[in-house]
Amino acid sequence: MTILSGPHLWPASRAGATLTVDLAAIASNYRLLCDKANTAVCAAVVKADAYGLGAEQVAPVLEKAGAREFFVAHVDEGIALRKIVSAEARITVLHGPRPDAAAECVYFDLRPVLNSLEQVDLWKKEVIRQQGALDAVLQVDSGMSRFGLSLKDVQTLAADPDCLKGIRTNLVMSHLACADEPKNPANEMQRQRLLEMAAYLPSAPLSLSASSGIFLGSAYHMGLVRPGAALYGIAPNSDETNPLKQVVRLQARVLQLRNVDAGDGVGYGLTYQPQGPRRIATVAVGYADGFSRQNGGMGCAWFGDIRLPIVGRVSMDSLALDVSDVPEALLHADMHVDLIGARRSVDDVAAAAGTIGYEVLTSLGGRYYREYTE
């Protein structure tokens, strides 16, 4: 008898699904983005546990592929990452310092993004406490109205040079709201706005682009690009074919097979009612595993080249597939089917569920057996 503690440690033979993360594909995607970004530094965004794929496994692979700059959202993500990457790697915290975490930023060598005059002030207090200059990124709001200094804020800073005394501004950044729509004029407006606002701040390299922005052309590369999603295989936009390698495969276990016929119903609400004889497989992935209920009656799985429609509603721990097209001899309980795989990308699953690949990845559940290939 094997007794392992914690859901991540379920043996493959007992987990409802195996999630395979292709680390070589992540490294290859990183290199492709570096090439694309040309002379700009290519950072790697590993917030939210590397978009749900496991920062502990993913970040060292990115570092080996050449990444020296890492971005996380929270200070505590930065503290955790500091133990994973080498001391030479620079870690930037997007949400910036908090009054209760400024000292930790210094102790763990985390560079904060300063998003408001309050955060500038807070970091200046830390400069005084540490009796030495400290690095920081200044973020300006170029139009998304999410994070960053306003035009009035940067003018305030420009009017009083003392405000930034002791703060080494080594990057000025902003974030695009519509980068996945290459023709959207908001992109160029935000770019112009960043240039205008940066003129009020100490001279430093600029950064505007995350994954999608890298594909808007060289004017958007500036000093540093900050891809996350593209590293993990998500398409930068829907206009072009996805140049990135798929990273994730999700193989779900079939728990039970049954025959249904006209007059039967499948799943909660009996929303699927076959017109004639069908073969149904119940598989061990449900919405508690982060596989959205919106996939019910919309999405599909694949068994080799055979498409298996998801029928009826997705339950908490299972969903139903129509496997009528699979030859009987190949069907058996314990067989696996691909919910994400060569024939079905993360973006496909997202489209069926009315969401984006980012949400599909960051929702991937804790009950999967996780396998990393290099």
Ligand X SMILES: *Cc1c(COP(=O)(O)O)cnc(C)c1O
| Nearby residues of 117 by Cβ (< 8 Å), 6 or more positions away | 149, 153, 156, 157, 163
CB-nearer residue toward ligand X: 171 or 230: 230
**Spatial distance between the Cα atoms of 85 and 374, rounded to a whole number of angstroms:** 18
**What is d(CA 81, CA 87) in angstroms, rounded to the nearest whole number?**
11
Kindly provide the b/e burial profile for residues 17-42, where b requires at least 16 CB atoms within 10 angstroms of the residue's own CB: bbbbbbbebbbbbbebbbebbeebbb
CB 20 within 8 A of CB 249: yes
Cβ-proximal residue to ligand X, closest one? 228
Q: How many CB atoms lie within 10 A of CB 143?
A: 20
Smallest distance from ligand X to CB 230, Å: 6
Binding site for ligand X (CB under 6 A): 45, 47, 94, 175, 210-211, 226-230
Of 47, 51, 220, 232, the catalytic one is 47
Judged by beta carbon, residue 125 or residue 146, the one nearer ligand X is: 146
Token output for 290? 């982060």
In 3D space, the residue among 314, 326, 307 whose CA is nearest the CA of residue 283 turns out to be 314
Output phi, psi for 156, to 5 deg: -60, -45
CB of residue 110 vs ligand X: minimum separation in angstroms? 15
Residue 152 appears among annotated catalytic residues:
no
Closest distance between ligand X and the C-beta of residue 77, in Å? 12
Query: Is the Cβ of residue 208 or residue 285 nearer to ligand X in the bound state?
Result: 208
Report in angstroms how near the CB of residue 165 gets to ligand X at its nearest. Answer: 26
> Residue 231 or 281: which CB sits closer to ligand X?
231
268 part of the active site: yes
Q: Which of the following is catalytic: 64, 107, 125, 268?
A: 268
Give me the active site residues, please.
Answer: 47, 268
